[in-house]
Amino acid sequence: MTSYRVTVLHDACTTHDVEADTEGQAIEQAFNDGGVSLCHQCSNTVEMGDPIRAVYVENLDTGEGNDDADPDHEVVALRAKVAELEARIAATPAAPVAEAAPAAPLSGHQVRRVMRTRL
């Protein structure tokens, strides 16, 4: 039987209590709050990377929490752009549709000529 070494990516969370004027500033402070330390035994098999996103922010003064604290900024920007374009489309008057003139029927000679050029 063959032996394998497999590296598996796991989710992990850290919680930081910070003081800030806004939720966004609190997230930024938590991201810059320093790295995560592991004990000697864990550090032999676990590597900690950079923070990815804030998954929950709780206001310790009011007790209110936000579990969608740091949405993907590109998605938010794209949703705003879609809303803007939809509003512009709705505000644009529809252009009149020009009716095509009926085509004159082809004569037998014209049909044969077309058929010869296509074959």
Per-residue pLDDT of 37-54, as tens digits, reads 788 888 888 777 777 777
Three-state SS at 73: helix
Q: What is the pTM of this model?
A: 0.44
Domain range summary for the chain, segments of one domain joined by +: 1-92
Nearest C-alpha neighbor of 71 from the set 50, 82, 55: 55
Are the C-beta atoms of residues 56 and 65 closer than 8 Å to each other?
yes
Interval 60-96: pLDDT, tens: 888 887 766 555 666 777 888 899 999 988 888 876 7
